[in-house]
Structure 1
Amino acid sequence: MAGTKDEASPLHVVAFPWLAFGHMFPYLELSKRLARRGHAVTFVSTPRNAARLGAVPPELSARLRVVALDLPEVEGLPDGAESTADVPPEKVALLKKAFDGLTAPFAELVAEACAAAAGGEGAAFSRKPDWIVLDFAQNWVLPIAEEYEIQCAIFVVVSGAFLAFTGPQNENEAHPRTTTEDYMVPPPWIPSPSTMAYRRHEAEWIAAGFRPNAAGVSDMDRFWEMERRPCCRLIFLRSCPEAEPPLFPLLTDLFAKPVVPAGLLLPDAAAADEADGACLTSDDEPTSAAMRWLDAQPQRSVIYVALGSEAPASAGHVRELALGLELSGARFLWALRLPAGGHRSGDPLLPDGFERRVAGRGVVCTGWVPQARVLAHAAVGAFLTHCGWGSTAEGLFRCGLPLVMLPFVLDQGLNARAAAARGLGVEVERDGDGGWFRGEDVAAAVRRVMVEEEGEALARNAREVQKVVGDRGRQEGYVDELVEHLQRCK
């Protein structure tokens, strides 16, 4: 009976995400779900990020604490930069170098937590951490965990398809990928037939993840060092079998340890919009005007356009996207953010006269947009997206919207291939080598989803998937099952 009591006792979990909002928010949402189930969670980030993530809900403050570690200065990293949203893509590796500088303060945090547990200090945090939940980048945490005999788990916030495509170290050593073309076909450990392959421009980006960067080590070497250490007992995904049907048994076999679903971890719409707004500059009047315009549109007549906060879309991409929306003839609401690398003041970003020509049927918002509320609006009938996993989950799995897909990097291309194969969206055609797309390509994809007969079938398929994947009880059940894994394996 003593063992049963111990298994059911509250856990103390340290959650430590990579410094990107697409990672921090799912980690924070998981932390909240664990705290609501009576477990203590220490959420670790940096001061500026902690402030932007917002306050812990009062009802959870006794079980969820946020600890901010000061990020060290690194030459070349802009002052005050603490997340990938603060730097251009070419400086993200310097942010990883600064992140590595948190080794000593994190070790001190763990030592203090263990000492407090020994002394019986605090209430919810009066026990030594049972688990440290890590992102892909913290290979330097494993020796700390081993010193204090704490189990580790890796929480992967991108799709399971990406984890399967990258594969474990032993498979990559047995089947080395040395050219861009090697990433343009499914890896040999993926059962055939499979859509799991990158376009050339995507493959060039993913290949770079296997090479050392300015931090001195490749992203994949970081991950492989973590997942193969004995103290790393679990891998869990921000996903579920209904969202990615064939993957969980394959991943458990590939990595030779349990790979389990955590569910999609989608906050309610109000909380999601509050979190999004905390990170972006908000201008209430344009946002309110856009929502009033949306309220006046016919049901399912508008396509919502958003490429995320960090997709590497250039000014040229933005102009072609604008041209495509104009040519499509469709109603649209576009959450337009500055291109990757910024934009020179005074240079026209949109084509001359664009907003005048689309007036009445198209709205461009350059400030904050309440994305969760927009996606759930009755007037919205489709989502033009970069296919980041979080956006895919919001638009497709929660709201049942068919997708117009314009992927760039990371798991986005794999997500787009999978959605297209399931009849859930249409990918914008691109140039085979450089990955360039034209306005005509955007217009054709938008019309297929919003105007042509094919769109009815896509919308029907999306709604059917949403009924299964978006079921709240089912999603909460995955968190319960994850807690059971943490209890059994601690």
Structure 2
Amino acid sequence: MDSSDQKLHIAMFPWLAFGHMIPYLELAKLIAQKGHQISFISTPRNIERLPQLPPNLSSSLITFVKLPLPRVDDDFPEDVEATTDVSQNKVMKLKKVYDALQQPLTHFLESSNPDWLLFDFAAYWAPTTARNLGIPCAFFSIFIGACLAFIGPTSPEISPDDRKNPEDYTVQPKWVPFPSNVAFHLFEVHRVYLDSITGDESNVSDVYRFMEGMKGCDVIAIRGCMEFDLKWLRLLQDIHRKPILPVGQLPTTNYEENDRWGSMREWLDRQPKASVVYVAFGSEAMPSQEEITTIALGLELSELPFIWVLRTNVVMLPEGFEKRIGGRGLVCRSWAPQLKILGHNSVGVFLSHSGWSSVVEALTFGRALVLLTMSNDQGLNARFLEEMKIGYCIPRDEEDGSFTSDSVAESLKLVIEMEEGKIYRDKAKELKPLFGDRKKQDMYVHNFLEYLKAHARNASKKV
């Protein structure tokens, strides 16, 4: 069989967060469009909440495999299946429940016999499971190269990570050979320290999960492209001594309609070009009540038109806020058509948490970024974007992460209209052709698949 005719069966097993499941699904759609079979594995409720598949993609090529979460903790609510369903302090417990999927996953892999398994950082046990079944596996990282490199090396030829204190994570790691500001601020370390860095008596840390997954996998696939983060991808090759395969930036595609778009578009049509601030912080880690209040007062002070997606009813806006801003701003308490909003030419700036899917969506449309990190890898993303003059970080207190409404207003005005912020506006426009290039994205998926074909289970018998 010619390799161009070889069709693969690829199992994909993302972590239980929509910031992970959506990029996995985007890659699944791109692979399935080339005629390969995908088994997309998650829990029943998560699969029901995923976006619809595109009309031109046969559902027979993407099979959704529902593995119910085992009940390993009587105190854990039965309807919790994703990080968006729990507070930040319960995510560690969700990871422990996720680990109990190892046996159901093993049974599925035994019965379905895929050519490859693509697994996420949390499933640190997946390489052992795959190896025992003779299935090659790839750690597919939705984290960018700079973040993955910051976590640490696995090659025995590289001096191991000896960071012990929170302050150690606020400086450039010793295995990064070029000057870089990619490190956490101290308040960002404290927000992730127990869960991500040290773990506790009942659970391993995220760093341990990453390191074991990268040690055990056959190849590391990563969201990224050589034109954008070449030096970091090369560094990953050096510190892990195994193939590093970029799969492109995986810009989001959405086929669902939203009833609110009509009224939003009419409002946006009335605003001057590149004048509107779009504000959204994802669905995983929400700002606190104090932060919401400060952001609101900052938007008010800026006197700029804005759309703010505030997907929670738990927090309150300042008294009289919506009345005072009148028609200058829209507050959306439900899901909003983010791609359509960012694609409108009246939007000038995206105030974001620096989650990478949001960054990709902004740069796909050439929108400048103002950044306010919340948790997880966002601090590292923000330093990377800041270093490249792609995003401007709102000034904050290094110890506790607090910020002022004045700094919110000043940061937005700087990036959207001042000469000092022109570099951010120009850089976003410069990157638009790269992030929006579907042909280049297709090339990365093609190259990735060629590697998977060449190294698939029983590849010699198929070719």
1:440 corresponding residue in structure 2: 406
1:279-335 CA-partner distances (Å, limit 9, x unpaired): xxx7x45x5433321121111110101111112410100000001111111111111
2:196 aligned with 1:222, yes or no?
no
**Distance (Å, rounded) in 2 between the aligned partners of 1:372 and 1:248:** 28
- The 5-angstrom pairing of residues 318-467 of structure 1 reads 318-338=292-312, 342-343=314-315, 349-396=316-363, 398-467=364-433
- In the TM superposition, 1:232-311 aligns within 5 A as 232-268=217-253, 270-271=254-255, 274=256, 284=259, 288-311=262-285
Q: Counterparts in 2 of 1:27-38, with a 5 A limit?
A: 27-38=24-35
Q: Choose from 65, 84, 96 the match for 2:63.
A: 65
Report the 3-state secondary structure (helix = DSSP H, G, I; strand = E; otherwise coil) of the residue aligned with 1:139: coil
Check conservation: 2:219, 2:242, Cα contact below 8 A.
Answer: yes
SS at 2:228 equivalent: coil
Q: Which of 127, 150, 166 is matched with 1:180 structurally?
A: 166
> 2:311 touches 2:335 (CA, 8 Å); kept in 1?
no
Q: Does structure 2 conserve the Cα–Cα contact (< 8 Å) formed by 1:97 and 1:214?
A: no
- Residues 120-144 of structure 1, C-alpha deviations (whole Å, 9 max, x = no match): xxxxxxxx31100000011232332
Match of 1:131 in 2: 116
What's the CA shift string for 1:424-473, capped at 9, x where partnerless? 23110001211111111111101101221223332122101212332221
Seq. identity, %: 41
Instruction: Determine helix, strand or coil for the equivalent of 1:310.
Output: coil
- Matching residue's letter, 1:45: S
In structure 2, how many angstroms separate the alpha carbons of the residues matched to 1:411 and 1:489?
Answer: 31
Task: Decide whether aligned partners of structure 1 residues 334 and 211 sit closer, same or farther in structure 2, where only a CA change above 3 A counts.
Answer: same
Question: For the Cα contact (< 8 Å) 1:12–1:131, is it kept in 2?
Answer: yes
Matched residue type, 1:320 = T
Higher alpha-carbon deviation: 89-98 or 172-181: 172-181
Find runs of 4+ consecutive structure 1 residues off by over 6 angstroms: none
Relative contact order higher in (CA < 8 Å, ≥ 6 apart): 2
Letter in 2 for 1:78: P
Which has the larger displacement, 196-205 or 149-158?
196-205
Q: CA deviation at 1:46?
A: 0.6
Q: Is the 8 A contact 1:420 1:426 kept in 2?
A: yes
Q: Shift of residue 228 of structure 1?
A: 1.5
Instruction: Judge conservation of contact 1:159–1:411 (CA < 8 Å) in 2.
Output: no
Aligned pairs for 1:162-201 within 5 A: 162-169=147-154, 174-201=160-187
Tell me the equivalent position of 2:104: 105
Distance 1:48 1:215 in 2: 26
2: CA distance, partners of 1:7 / 1:217: 42
Matched residue type, 2:171: V
Q: Is the 8 A contact 2:152 2:211 kept in 1?
A: no
**Structure 2: which 5+ residue stretches go unaligned?**
457-463
> What is the match of residue 461 of structure 2?
none
- Report the Cα distance in structure 2 between the residues aligned to 1:62 and 1:355, rounded to whole angstroms: 47
Are residues 214 and 359 of structure 1, via their aligned partners in 2, closer, same or farther at CA, if it must alter by over 3 Å?
farther
Q: Is the 8 A contact 2:159 2:175 kept in 1?
A: no
Aligned counterparts of 1:180 and 1:206: Cα–Cα separation in 2 = 10
Cα distance, 1:234 vs structure 2: 0.8
**Pair 138,180 (structure 1): closer, same or farther in 2 beyond 3 Å:** same
Structure 1 unmatched ranges of 5 or more? 114-127, 344-348
